């Protein structure tokens, strides 16, 4: 019985590590834009600048946009939990780049509806 409990514990640890590794940031710094982006400017941005790159939602081009993405995180519709994990990692990476302190450790902490 002891061996079984140890095996279950090891499996749990490995599973949790792999689960955390699944979402990796895709965000890369780009030319910094301050202020509001117009449609033409947004269209020129690469996917790697967005918190949600597949949907091209929430550009992370400066500190203000990063804060906006954090505040609007739960307003992005029709995305999977995996896409939210990636978006959270992108926001974290951009926040660090722009010198923004984030207290949230998990994407669910930005999901204000839950």
List the domain boundaries for the chain.
25-109
Q: Is 59 helix (H, G, I), strand (E, B) or coil?
A: strand
Query: Which pLDDT belongs to residue 23?
Result: 84
The pLDDT of residue 19 is above 60: no
More reliable by pLDDT, 18 or 45 = 45
53-74: buried (b, 16+ CB within 10 Å) or exposed (e) per residue? beeebbbbbbbebbeebbeebe
What is the pLDDT confidence band of residue 106, given thresholds at 50, 70 and 90?
A: very high
Residue 110 in tokens: 């930005």
Q: Structure pTM?
A: 0.77
What is the SS3 assignment for 58? strand
Q: Residue 100: exposed, middle, or buried by beta-carbon count in 10 A (0-12, 13-18, 19+)?
A: middle
Q: What is the mean pLDDT of residues 54-77?
A: 95
């Amino acid at each position: 019985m002891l061996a079984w409990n140890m095996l279950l514990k090891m499996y749990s640890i490995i599973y949790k590590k792999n689960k955390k590794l699944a979402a990796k940031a895709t965000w890369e710094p780009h030319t910094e834009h301050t202020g509001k982006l117009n449609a033409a400017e947004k269209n020129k941005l690469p996917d790697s600048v967005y918190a949600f790159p597949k949907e091209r939602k929430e550009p992370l081009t400066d500190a203000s946009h990063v804060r906006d993405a954090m505040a609007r995180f739960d307003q992005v519709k029709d995305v999977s939990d995996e896409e939210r994990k990636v978006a959270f990692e992108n926001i974290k990476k951009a926040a660090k780049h722009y010198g923004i302190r984030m207290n949230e450790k998990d994407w669910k902490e930005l999901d204000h509806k839950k």
